[in-house]
Amino acid sequence: MLAAIMNSTEAKNLYRTDYSRLKGELAGHGEAWIHEIREAAIARFAELGFPSNRDEEWRYTSVKPIATIPFERARYDIEGLAPDTVGRASLGLLETSQAVFVNGYYSAELSSLRGVSQDVKVGGLAAALNEGAEWIESHLARYASYRDHAFVALNTALMQDGASVYVPPGRIVQEPIHLLFISTGGKKASVSHPRNLIIIGKGSQVTIVENYAGPEKGNYFTNAITEIVVGENAVVDHYKLQRESDEAFHVATLQVCLGRSSNVSSHSISLGGALVRNDVNVVLDGEGGECTLNGFYMVSGEQHVDNHTRIDHVKPHGTSRQLYKGVLDGKSRGVFNGKIYVHKGAEKTDARQTNNNLLLSLDAVIDTKPQLEIYNNDVKCTHGSTIGQLDQDAIFYLRSRGIGVESARRLLTYAFASDVIGRIRIDSVRAQLDKLLAAKFQKDS
C-alpha cells in the first residue's frame, strides 16, 4: 500500500510543487495578506525542510516515515465513509452542536449546528476566509509561528479548510461545540492540513472538543493546527482527542493565547496513530491568566507518541498547571518535553508541571524532559516526572482476594490514569473514554 520512498529533497520539492500548483485556488487566494503569509511560510519550509534527530526539539522523534512517503493531498470524499462513522465518533455529545470535517474539509451535509446560537459563528475556515471576515484576517496565522517549525510552515502554506469558531464577548455557550475530524484513509496515502481558528470574546465561556478519528486501518497523515485566542476574563475548556488509525501519522500544534484574567484548560488525549506529535504552546499574555494542561497518552505495539508543551509566562500573576500521564505497552515509545518559560516581567508566576509514566512492558520506552527557563526571581515553579511499572505488591494484594491477574493489571492501569481522566468535565466524553480504554486494553492483552 505504501508508495515509493522519497529522499528529503524530493519530499521538500513535492510540497513546494504542490504549493505552486495550488496557490491560485487555495482559500482566500484573492487576499494579499494571506497570500503574503503563505509565501513566507512555504519559503520558510523550503529553508527548514523536515526536522531530523539533530534538531533538539525532534531528538527522540524521527519523522522519516512522514518525510519519505509521497502523500497525496486528501480530497473531500464522503463516499468513502463507512455508514454511521459520524454517529460512532460522536462521543455522546449533542448532534446539534457538531461541525464535521472530512479529510480536513468542512462538511455542511454532515454537520448540524442548530443548537448553536446565531451570533456564535461555527463553520468552515475556507468559507470564512473567502467571505473576508475581519476577525479572520486579524487573527489567522498570527499566533502559531511557522518560523521554527516545518510542519506549522507547511500547514500555513497549504491550509485550505478547517474549523472557524467565533464567540462574541459576554456569551455563555452551554453545550460543548464538537469539531469532528474524520479521515477516510483511501487507497493512496494522503495528507490533510486542517487549520482551526477559535476566537473567544471577552468574558465568554465555552467548551470545545476537537476529535480526530478515522478507520482502524489506513495510511494517512494529518497535519493540524489550532489557534485559540482567549479574550479578557473568558473561560475555555478545550479537549483534543486523537484516536486515528494505528497506521496514521498525526502532527498537531495547539497555540493558545490568553488574555488578562482568562482561564483555559486544555486536555489532550492520544490513543491512536503510528506516529503522533503534539505541540501545545500557551502564552499567558495578560496579567493573572490561568492555564491547566492535562494530557493522557496510551500506546502499544510500535506506536510512537510525542507531547511537547511550552508555556510562556509573559505577564505577572500567571498560573499554570500541567499533568501529563502516559501508559506504554509493547514496543511503543513516548516522549514528553515540557518547557516553562518565565519572562522577565512575569512576577508572581506560579507554574507546576508533572509527568508520570507507566511502562507495562520491558520493551516500551519513554523519554521525559522538563525544562524551566526563568528570568524572574519572584516566581514559584516546580516540576517532576516519574517512570514506573505496575506495583507488584498491589497486584499480589488484588490477586490474593480472588481477582485474576489480567483484571488486576487493568484495574491498576485505570487507577494510574484515573486522576487525569477524572479531570474531564464532560460526563459523556469521560464515559466514552472509559470504553475506549477498555477496548484498547482488550486489544493489547
Binding site for other proteins (CB under 8 A): 391, 393-394, 396-405, 407, 411-412, 414-416, 418-419
Residue 119 burial class via C-beta count within 10 angstroms: exposed 0-12, middle 13-18, buried 19 and up: exposed
Q: Which residues, in sequence order, are CB contacts of 136 under 8 Å at separation 6+?
A: 125, 128, 129, 164, 197
Q: Which residues, in sequence order, are CB contacts of 167 under 8 Å at separation 6+?
A: 120, 173, 199, 200, 201, 204, 206
Taking the complex as a whole, the smallest distance from the CB of residue 223 to other proteins amounts, in Å, to 36
Taking the complex as a whole, the smallest distance from the CB of residue 53 to other proteins amounts, in Å, to 36
Count CA within 13 A, CB hemisphere, residue 25. 3
Looking at the Cβ atoms of 108 and 405, the one nearer to other proteins is: 405
What number of other Cβ atoms are within 10 A of residue 148's Cβ? 12
Q: What angle do CA 71, 77, 79 make, to 5 degrees?
A: 130
Looking at the Cβ atoms of 119 and 391, the one nearer to other proteins is: 391
Taking the complex as a whole, the smallest distance from the CB of residue 408 to other proteins amounts, in Å, to 8
Taking the complex as a whole, the smallest distance from the CB of residue 424 to other proteins amounts, in Å, to 15
Q: Please tell me the distance from the alpha carbon of residue 392 to that of residue 236, in angstroms, as a whole number.
A: 40
Looking at the Cβ atoms of 76 and 414, the one nearer to other proteins is: 414
Count CA within 13 A, CB hemisphere, residue 166. 16
Most distant CA pair in the chain: distance in Å? 71
Looking at the Cβ atoms of 118 and 400, the one nearer to other proteins is: 400
Q: Copy the grid coordinates of residue 127.
A: 468559507
* DSSP structural state of residue 172: B
Taking the complex as a whole, the smallest distance from the CB of residue 413 to other proteins amounts, in Å, to 10
Taking the complex as a whole, the smallest distance from the CB of residue 304 to other proteins amounts, in Å, to 27
Count CA within 13 A, CB hemisphere, residue 15. 37
Looking at the Cβ atoms of 52 and 389, the one nearer to other proteins is: 389
Looking at the Cβ atoms of 82 and 438, the one nearer to other proteins is: 438
Taking the complex as a whole, the smallest distance from the CB of residue 322 to other proteins amounts, in Å, to 19
Looking at the Cβ atoms of 197 and 424, the one nearer to other proteins is: 424
Looking at the Cβ atoms of 343 and 410, the one nearer to other proteins is: 410
Provide φ and ψ at 136, rounded to 5°.
-70, -50
Going by C-alpha positions, the residue among 253, 418, 393 that lies closest to residue 323 is 418
Q: Please tell me the distance from the alpha carbon of residue 290 to that of residue 235, in angstroms, as a whole number.
A: 10
Taking the complex as a whole, the smallest distance from the CB of residue 184 to other proteins amounts, in Å, to 38
